Amino acid sequence: MQIRYVKGTNLSVKVAMLDSTGVPFDLTGATLYLTVKSKETDTVASFTITGTAAVPTNGVAVFALLPASASALTPGQFRYDIQIVQGGATYVVVPNAPFELVPSIR
């Protein structure tokens, strides 16, 4: 899933967190991260957002991108992943997907 984010705006990204068989993850007690990097091999993130799950058992996570999220970045192409950290384990649910930061026309 590609994310296209206009710099300086608000964007709510909803993601269904499913296991390999299509069953929703139970996100009860989990911490959710959307991490954006300049390229997949970077060891330092450009920014990270912590997500929420209004109904943890349905597996839907919401990540709120705010103007401050990418304020220090120059528009361009990035990569992101989404991870669930739960019970001492880390699950990568969305690996290495495209993230486009576009300039605002304001």
- pLDDT for 60 equals 95
Q: Which residues contact 55 (CB under 8 A, 6 or more apart)?
A: none
Phi (first) and psi of residue 57, to 5 degrees: -75, -10
User: Per-residue pLDDT averaged across 32-58, rounded?
Assistant: 94
User: Per-residue pLDDT averaged across 9-14, rounded?
Assistant: 96
Tell me what the pLDDT averaged over the chain comes to: 93
First and final C-alpha spacing in the chain? 27
Cβ atoms of residues 75 and 95 within 8 Å: no
Least confident of 36-40, 74-78, 102-106: 102-106
- Residue 106 scores a pLDDT above 80: no
Residue ranges of domains in the chain, CATH in brackets: 3-102 (2.60.40.10)
pTM: 0.91
